[in-house]
Amino acid sequence: MVKTKQQAAQTRAVTSVRASQYSFWGNRDLLWALGKRDLQARFKNTVLGWAWSLIVPLAQVAIYSLVFSVIFRAKPPEMGNGEPGIFAVWLFCGIIVWTLFAQALGRGTGSLLAARPLLQKVYFPSYVASFSVVVGLAVQSAIEFSLLLAILALLMNVSWTWLLLPVLFLALLVFGACIGYIFALANLYYRDVSQAVPVILQFGFFLSAIIYPLSLVQEEAYGIPVRTLIELNPMTQFIQTARDLLYELTLPSVASVGYLLAWLLLAMGACSFAYRRWGQDVGEMT
Amino acid sequence: MSDFSIRAVDLSKRFRQQTERRTSLKELFIRGRGSQPEAFYPLRDVSFTLKPGESMGILGRNGAGKSTALKVIAGLYRPTSGTLEVKGRVSTLLELGAGFHPELTGRENIQLNAVLLGLSRAHMDEGLDRIIDFTGLRDFIDEPIKTYSSGMKVRLAYAIAVEIEPDILIIDEIIAVGDQDFREQCFAHIKKIRQSGATMVIVSHSMATLSELCDTALWLDKGRTHMLGPVDEVTQAYAASAAKPSTAAN
């Protein structure tokens, strides 16, 4: 890269602003309003409306339960209360966690492209547009979790470990929001990203130990340490932690929690770096 | 510390020519990374200070950098070099109804847009009825706005815009839209916002508008400050130069 004289002579640009509108907290109303718009607009002109947000994951649970539980006769782990496991319930728990992440990534990737016309006219930090997608998803996911908890309660499979669900939920939301934002930024520069995301999610779904227990995976295949790789997938750990807390009613291992925490911090760091490096120029991209 | 609302020192904005950007892998492969694209400065070393409550107009020919200046001040563009200090909440009216969503109802759109323009949720709850009354669209307020005529949409957007109580208001030519009656109403409201103590930055091609709404004016030419001073002096000088097109050609 050749630097012209002009560039070398430039002073550093400094923007100093004293107003709440530039902070995350100062934009919480907007975050919520945009999330609400997302939700309100999504089910407009549908007869079943909000029911769709439950039908989709339940349909997934039904089809995978049929294939894996009925045809392949997969055995789910025992429930925390000692009763024999129920594949559909065990699967539902994993599907909820995965759906939240998959949608945060899937919808998040297009969020900045969609919000760009707005970002060219009204100032707000670009991450607000992206994070608002996750706000909408959080509402949807909370409904799914409520249904799961209701089912587990009916099965008398309840414990104090449930109280830790909000912590896991929050971590998952932040993780999804950060990854989604990074992909959304990348998608502004290279539209290839939005083409690649469905492929990534397809791989992610089958490599996240959602529809099979990790114990079923062989250590090695074709010289590849398959189980270790699947274990290293952060989504496997998120899903396992959710199942520990809600289904098996145990505490997740320290290693899992530490590993997830590391991923979370990594995602947040990368997200904050991406915002400072590229995220403030979204309004001027044409 | 001196008291100011907006202070810009040697503010510059550089754009890279978009056509030079390598986007596809194929292009990258064939032509390599090559040299840096040609730099273009829509804004170059512009300095000014606005005290709280002061109002500045920006004028200049098409392509002089007026809109870029507004967008830099509004925070939409990041300055390439120089210092920009802004104190207070900025509301930007570059386009009425910027965040309207066609599938949402009038009421839902009011709620969203008010937040976008910087109204707090508390203010919104209290002001929603007043805004709806002001639109005169109460019978249609729960219909999706894709069913609205363009005139209805403008009324809706406008009713929200006049509710804002910004510390700093940035306006780009919106006074030019609508019929005579609407323009006058809009004008009166902007004056009211000014009287309430807001600092304003206004881009307009209308010298009359600028004279009436502004204290000072900044004349931009090819991104540089051509003249900065009391509004009447600048507008007169600008009008005089516009009468002699030969100077512009050089």
Report angle CA B236, B239, B241 to the nearest 5 degrees: 110
How confident is the model at residue A174, as a pLDDT?
A: 95
From the list A20, A124, A281, the residue facing B78 with the nearest CB is A281
Find the chain A residues whose C-beta atoms sit closer than 8 A to any C-beta of B.
1-4, 6-7, 10-22, 29-30, 33-34, 36-37, 40-41, 44-45, 117-124, 189-190, 280-281, 283-284, 286
- Whether B112 and chain A come into contact, CB under 8 Å, resolves to yes
Q: Do B116 and A117 touch (CB under 8 A)?
A: no
Nearest CA in chain A to B77: A284
Domains in chain A: how many in total?
Answer: 1
pLDDT in tens, B6-46: 888 888 888 865 544 555 666 666 655 555 556 788 888 88
How confident is the model at residue B119, as a pLDDT?
A: 78
How confident is the model at residue A10, as a pLDDT?
A: 44
Q: Which residues of A touch B39 (CB under 8 A)?
A: 4, 6-7
SS3 at position B51: coil
How confident is the model at residue B89, as a pLDDT?
A: 80
Residues of chain B with pLDDT under 50: 1, 19-20, 246-250
Nearest CA in chain B to A123: B76
Mean pLDDT estimate for chain A: 86
- Whether B104 and chain A come into contact, CB under 8 Å, resolves to yes
Q: Which residues of A touch B83 (CB under 8 A)?
A: 13-16
pLDDT in tens, A140-191: 899 999 999 998 998 888 889 999 999 999 999 999 999 999 999 999 988 9
Report angle CA A175, A180, A181 to the nearest 5 degrees: 105
Q: Which residues of A touch B88 (CB under 8 A)?
A: 18-19
- Whether B167 and chain A come into contact, CB under 8 Å, resolves to yes
Q: Which residues of B touch A2 (CB under 8 A)?
A: 35-36
CA of A115 vs chain B CAs: smallest distance (Å):
9
CB B184 within 8 A of CB B153: no
Query: Is there a domain that residue A36 lies in?
Result: yes
Measured CA to CA in angstroms, residue B191 lies from A176, B49, B55, B119, B195 at distances of 46, 21, 11, 19, 6
Q: Do A123 and B74 touch (CB under 8 A)?
A: yes
Query: Is there a domain that residue A2 lies in?
Result: no
From the list A11, A189, A284, the residue facing B81 with the nearest CB is A11
Measured CA to CA in angstroms, residue A204 lies from A210, A236, A255, B32, B52 at distances of 10, 9, 21, 34, 54
- Whether B116 and chain A come into contact, CB under 8 Å, resolves to yes
How confident is the model at residue B35, as a pLDDT?
A: 54
CA of B232 vs chain A CAs: smallest distance (Å):
29
Query: Is there a domain that residue A215 lies in?
Result: yes
Domain coverage including residue A257: 30-284
Q: Do B94 and A121 touch (CB under 8 A)?
A: yes
CA of A51 vs chain B CAs: smallest distance (Å):
19
Query: Which residues in A11-141 belong to E strands, given as ranges?
Result: 14-18
CA of A273 vs chain B CAs: smallest distance (Å):
16
- Whether B53 and chain A come into contact, CB under 8 Å, resolves to no
Query: Is there a domain that residue A198 lies in?
Result: yes
From the list A2, A30, A122, the residue facing B36 with the nearest CB is A2
Amino acid present at B111: Q
Q: Do A284 and B103 touch (CB under 8 A)?
A: no
Contact map slice: B 54-93 vs A, CB within 8 A: 71, 74-90, 92
From the list B78, B115, B167, the residue facing A280 with the nearest CB is B78
How confident is the model at residue B15, as a pLDDT?
A: 81
Question: Does ipTM come in above 0.95?
Answer: no
Query: What residues contact B96, with CB distance under 8 A and at least 6 apart?
Result: B154, B157, B158, B161, B174, B177
CA of B162 vs chain A CAs: smallest distance (Å):
16
CB pairs under 8 A between A and B: 117
Q: Do A7 and B94 touch (CB under 8 A)?
A: no
CB A34 within 8 A of CB A129: yes
Report angle CA B81, B84, B85 to the nearest 5 degrees: 155
Pairing of strands B224-230, B216-221: antiparallel
Nearest CA in chain B to A12: B81
Each residue's pLDDT expressed in tens, for chain A with a length of 286 residues? 343 334 433 455 666 655 566 777 778 888 888 888 888 788 777 888 788 888 888 898 888 888 888 888 778 888 888 788 888 899 999 999 999 999 999 999 999 998 888 888 888 888 999 999 999 899 989 999 999 999 899 888 888 999 999 999 999 999 999 999 999 999 998 899 999 999 999 999 999 988 888 888 888 888 888 888 888 999 999 999 999 999 988 898 999 999 999 999 999 999 999 998 888 888 777 6
Q: Do B39 and A6 touch (CB under 8 A)?
A: yes
Distance CA(A108)–CA(A193), nearest Å, equals 11
Query: Is there a domain that residue A5 lies in?
Result: no
CB B55 within 8 A of CB B38: no
pLDDT in tens, A96-128: 999 999 999 999 999 999 888 888 888 888 899
Tally of residues, chain B: 250
Query: Is there a domain that residue A23 lies in?
Result: no
CATH topology assigned to domain B6-89+201-249? Rossmann fold (3.40.50)
SS (H, E, C) A111-177: HHHHHHHHHCCCCCCHHHHHHHHHHHHHHHHHHHHHHHHHHHHHCCCCCHHHHHHHHHHHHHHHHHH
CA of B147 vs chain A CAs: smallest distance (Å):
14
Distance CA(B200)–CA(B218), nearest Å, equals 13
CB B5 within 8 A of CB B199: yes
